[in-house]
Amino acid sequence: MENALPNQRDRILDTARDLIRRFGGAKTNVVDIAQAMGLSHSAIYRHFRSKAEIFDALAAATMAEEAALAETFVEAEGPAAERLAALVLTLHRSKRAKFGDDPEMHALYRRIVEERPDLIMDYARRMTGLIRRILADGVARGEFGPTDLDAAAGAVRDAFTVFVHPAHVEAAAKAGIDQEAGLRTLMAIVTGGLAAGRG
């Protein structure tokens, strides 16, 4: 049976991630990545045009992982309110863990958030779409009242952004603030409001 091997692009990203964790983003460059892989730097440039493009790809991969994680709650069984709250809480814990356990990658991700609004807008659209699907399911089940799903999904996303944005998560962690209690309260208010419109 043939083993599935990661392609060269994935290997470059994995190597870059390892180097960033060891030395930080500022001290990691294309030559370092190439040397760690036993390649010439021109081999890296066949897949990525610059260090910045590699870093953008790492951030995009993180966003894709978060979207995949969020989708597990969209597809899960159970009440929509519980799945929505669990989705948000899980994303918050993931961001908090990344800051505590993987600080160099957190720093990279935070910088990309500030420098690449196009990536963030795409991420926001994906997350809003997932939230909308849970809200639509809640309406179909009779858990939530009729609502403008697009507007409601955007409002829910905006409400919990402070609990998942890397800058806010970092600030709260540095201040020793446990955000989970506030997040649980917020989601109780949000889901309560959605349920209040039931006929």
Claim to verify: residue 26 and residue 116 sit in the same structural domain: no
Claim to verify: residue 74 and residue 171 sit in the same structural domain: yes
pLDDT of residue 82: 96
Q: Give the model confidence (pLDDT) of 134-167 as tens digits.
A: 999 999 999 999 999 999 999 999 999 999 988 8
Claim to verify: residue 12 and residue 100 sit in the same structural domain: no
**Is the pLDDT assigned to residue 105 strictly greater than 90?**
no
Provide the whole-model pTM. Answer: 0.85
pLDDT of residue 51: 92
Between the CA of residue 88 and those of 28, 158, 182, 189, what are the distances in Å? 33, 12, 12, 14
The band of 103, judged by pLDDT with boundaries at 50, 70 and 90, is confident
The band of 104, judged by pLDDT with boundaries at 50, 70 and 90, is confident
Q: Give the model confidence (pLDDT) of 47-75 as tens digits.
A: 999 999 999 999 889 889 999 999 999 99
Task: Confirm whether 141 is domain-assigned.
Answer: yes
Q: What would the two tokens of residue 169 be?
A: 């998560």
145 vs 199: CA distance, rounded Å: 7
Task: Confirm whether 96 is domain-assigned.
Answer: yes
DSSP symbols for 151-196? HHHHHHHHHHHHHH-HHHHHHHHHTT---HHHHHHHHHHHHHHHHT
5 vs 121: CA distance, rounded Å: 32
The band of 6, judged by pLDDT with boundaries at 50, 70 and 90, is low
Contact 195, 145 (CB under 8 A): yes
Structural domains of the chain, count = 2
Claim to verify: residue 125 and residue 173 sit in the same structural domain: yes
Q: Within 10 A of 47 (CB to CB), how many other CB atoms are there?
A: 16
Contact 134, 191 (CB under 8 A): no
The band of 5, judged by pLDDT with boundaries at 50, 70 and 90, is very low
What range does the domain containing 17 cover? 8-45
Claim to verify: residue 152 and residue 177 sit in the same structural domain: yes
118 vs 184: CA distance, rounded Å: 30
Q: What CATH number does the domain containing 34 carry?
A: 1.10.10.60
Claim to verify: residue 40 and residue 56 sit in the same structural domain: no
